[in-house]
Chains A and B, each alone.
Chain A
Amino acid sequence: MLEFLTQSPHFYDYVTAGVLFLGVFNACEILFLLYNKTKVERSELRRGNLKRLASTALITATNPADLLPPPVTEDEFAAYSEAIASVLDSFEGEVAVKACQLLTDLKIDDHYRRLARHRTWYKRGNAIDILSSFRLNDNKAFFLDIFRSEPSTDVKYRILYGLSRLTREHAEIRELAELLSTLPYLTAKYTEDIFFNIISTLKAEGKEEEFGLFMKELLDDKLVLNLVKRDCITACHAASCERGRGVLKQYYEAHAHEPEIQIAAVKALAKMGDFALIPQALRHADWRVRLTALKYADLCCMDMLPEIRGLLRDPSYHVRLAAGMTMARAGGAARAALKEEASSQDKFAAAAAAYALTQGAA
């Protein structure tokens, strides 16, 4: 059997060695599993204790660095960084200042800055995430510096996220938006998150008008992607940025061929109680814009009932249902019209009206 193998002088020695190796390897794997289990349990306990100690020291002690053992292992750095990030999320004023000071005293920020240049991309990404959570102003220049030399796009997205928590001036926001446009577009959620962070930081510092200025500049900025502009508008409504409100109508007018920007503008304004765009949005050629407008039409535009009633015959299934729901919500004459439509000859309009009436009743 397989003579050329079995007749070689050391064949069985090699196979026996292989079997023995696998046997020993399996035993080692089991031992390592048990060792690792114990090690992780101990490390979790130690990490939890250190986190509690660091949080207590930050809140109660004048100089917390005197009470805390300097971190040596990666676990200890992680425990301190989690405790400090959590304190920075929950406290302002003196406690926050002490937390930032502790980062320097225990050289935690230095440690993660070193790790941010690690050769493995996900370790760099993790270090950037941790540095972002500290929101240290000193890191702004560091982030911009490593952004230029960073080869991984995944890490670059994280650097920009970190920068979004440190941006204070409209020129900086514009720079960030332009840097964002140099990368492949990731997702709406990511970009919105970036602008949401910026608006939240500016609002906390009473500098919301900086975002209004940025929005004006962004309107004609050719270096910034339209998708980024759209997400900026969405963030504006998510973070309730009133200062961006004035310019939103200009975005709607200026981007006649960008329905996604127009939808974002209609939504953002409507959420702020401004329904000025709804009538023209109801007549828009793109069904998605009509659909968005219908969601708010019952609050402002029931004088347009004939037009809304006409949308029960819209080619889009979603628009037909939304028109029915708008009329059902509005009540009064709209509901009466809906009842008439429920027995209409147009089976699509009739189905949408009948469904909306049952939903309204529920």
Chain B
Amino acid sequence: MKLFLLWLAVHASQYVIFLYFLAVNTTYTALIFLALRDIVRHAYLTTARVARRQLASEHYFKPVTVIVPAHNEAAVITQSVQALLNLHYPEYEVIVVNDGSTDNTLARLKEDFKLVSSIKPVRLQVPHEDIQAVYRSADYANLIVIDKLNGGKADAINAGINVSSYPIFCSIDADSLLEPDALLKSSKLFLEDDELIATGGIIRILNGCTIKDGAVTEIGLPRTTLEALQVLEYTRAFLSGRTGWNALKSLLIISGAFGVFRKDIVVAVNGYRKTVGEDMDLVMRLHRHCRDHKIPYKILFVPDPVCWTQAPFKLGMLLKQRNRWHRGMIDALLANKAMILNPKYGATSLVGISYFIFVEFLGPLIELFGYVSIPILYYFDMLNTRFLVMLILLAVFWGISINIGAVFLDIYNFRRYKKTSDILRLCVMSAMEFFGYRQIMLFERLLATLTFRKKHWGTQDRQVFENKEKTA
């Protein structure tokens, strides 16, 4: 009986793995096609003519607050803030929130921007740790710096929300650079559609690019394979993933590195929640709030406003980052478990959240199970080697197709990487990802699944990004 049950379990597991493989790859392929349709449509409707018309009508804009949470960012903070002060936008304020840094982040800000004390009354609309001081720059009227006790990124953004003066806010990481027109492109969407409550632009990798005076002047692929693989991953995640989810009205993540939100609706959900995956958690709660209160709303990803960010250039840093992302995802799913497979939340729940549960959360476990089952099946002499080889070949070739499809979306429409060598290298990365990199990431995601209750962020090394090429 026991042997029969074992035999049954082994057979059932094979079906699960095979069906999982088919379902996941079909989903990714469908997302690519949906993204292609969305991007072509976007390209048609966002012509240079329309852009010129929108830029010309200076009367129409909504003032925006840019919130920059900063914890131990002394290496990059001055350049980052300087770049933000050079954005093309008629009316905006930059609020840097020094979240209890133990390095000289605040001292650098004080010195470089001539900060003076400000006593602006602050409304406590969303909760956060105590603010110790608010400063205003004597040189730049639109620069405010908040010094507060350490509470994490979510807490820091909440403090920024309370101090902000404008109806829309944009949260951006301190190690990221916005393209000069990114704020204009993303905030104009709020003028074009009253139902829009949140939007995010594309995050691209800064490593390998040339930066001058806080702006990316030449775009290139990073030299190391580790960084180039991340370029491929970001391209796939944003251009095929998020654009595809957009089309399905199931977008669940607006990257914490660059997101623009309507303040009133974020205040209505009590701001950011203290967690390592605060970006996904907020978007899920926004969906939930609007659905629960029958508020017509839209949450959109738009592929042309660009935020450049530093990618980890060491494997250890990358693993820490991925571990944190995975823990954040699990935490956000658990915190919003009422939305799981709940028809009340429509496609967001049945499509978007289901994908995160069955592919992102269970995926690593099933994939590991697949790897582990090979020696077991071999031991019991149940392994069909021919089938296994064919399955692996099919998986790799299909995966490569999906990767090149994502590169195609980027090169076809946005053409950021113009050098033929860069395009070919991205195609090579599309194949290389399956040999080592994917397995390492799988292992880290498994570790994250086992330790998802940990709340710590960890630290990341930063590189100064002024006037030099960014390579590891």
A interface residues with partner B (beta carbon < 8 Å): 1-2, 6, 12, 15-16, 18-19, 22-23, 25-26, 29-30, 32-34, 36-37, 40, 82, 85, 122-123, 125-126, 129-130, 133, 185-190, 192-193, 196, 238, 317, 320-321, 348, 351-352, 354-355, 358, 362
The total of Cβ contacts below 8 Å across the A-B interface reads 123
Specify which chain A residues have a CB less than 8 angstroms from the CB of B412 in the assembled complex. Answer: 33, 36
With both beta carbons as reference points, the residue of chain A lying nearest to B407 in the complex is identified as A33
User: Does any Cβ of A come within 8 Å of B45's Cβ?
Assistant: yes
A187 touches B397 (CB 8 A): no
Q: Which of B405-443 contact A (CB under 8 A)?
A: 405, 407-408, 411-412, 415, 418, 420, 423-424, 427
With contacts A26-B400, A189-B57 known, what are 16 further pairs, Cβ within 8 A?
A1-B377, A2-B387, A19-B393, A22-B400, A22-B401, A29-B404, A33-B412, A34-B423, A34-B424, A85-B49, A129-B49, A129-B50, A186-B192, A355-B119, A358-B118, A362-B141
Q: How far is the CA of A129 from the CA of B397 in the complex (A)?
A: 42
Interface centre among B120, B386, B418 (most CB of A within 10 A): B120
User: Does any Cβ of A come within 8 Å of B47's Cβ?
Assistant: yes
B191 touches A26 (CB 8 A): no
Q: Which one, A122, A133, A187, A190, contacts B49 given CB within 8 A?
A: A133
Q: List 6 A-B contacts (CB under 8 A).
A: A82-B49, A189-B191, A196-B57, A238-B59, A238-B60, A352-B121
Given the interface contacts A186-B194, A187-B193, A189-B191, does A36 sit within 8 Å of B119 by beta carbon? no
User: Does any Cβ of A come within 8 Å of B293's Cβ?
Assistant: no
Q: Which one, B44, B123, B382, B423, contacts A122 given CB within 8 A?
A: B44
B15 touches A26 (CB 8 A): no
A130 touches B49 (CB 8 A): yes
B49 touches A33 (CB 8 A): no
Q: Which one, A2, A32, A33, A190, contacts B192 given CB within 8 A?
A: A190
User: Does any Cβ of A come within 8 Å of B41's Cβ?
Assistant: yes
B191 touches A188 (CB 8 A): yes
User: Does any Cβ of A come within 8 Å of B398's Cβ?
Assistant: yes
Q: How far is the CA of A317 from the CA of B124 in the complex (A)?
A: 11
Given the interface contacts A126-B44, A196-B59, does A186 sit within 8 Å of B121 by beta carbon? no
Specify which chain B residues have a CB less than 8 angstroms from the CB of A12 in the assembled complex. Answer: 386, 390
Q: How far is the CA of A118 from the CA of B407 in the complex (A)?
A: 30
Q: Which one, A16, A33, A190, contacts B390 given CB within 8 A?
A: A16
With both beta carbons as reference points, the residue of chain A lying nearest to B427 in the complex is identified as A30
A37 touches B420 (CB 8 A): yes
Interface membership of chain B positions 41-62, coded 1 if the CB is closer than 8 angstroms to chain A and 0 otherwise? 1001101111000000101100
Q: Which one, B48, B384, B397, B405, contacts A19 given CB within 8 A?
A: B397
Specify which chain A residues have a CB less than 8 angstroms from the CB of B14 in the assembled complex. Answer: 1-2
Given the interface contacts A2-B387, A19-B393, does A34 sit within 8 Å of B420 by beta carbon? yes
Q: How far is the CA of A190 from the CA of B193 in the complex (A)?
A: 9
Q: How far is the CA of A358 from the CA of B123 in the complex (A)?
A: 18
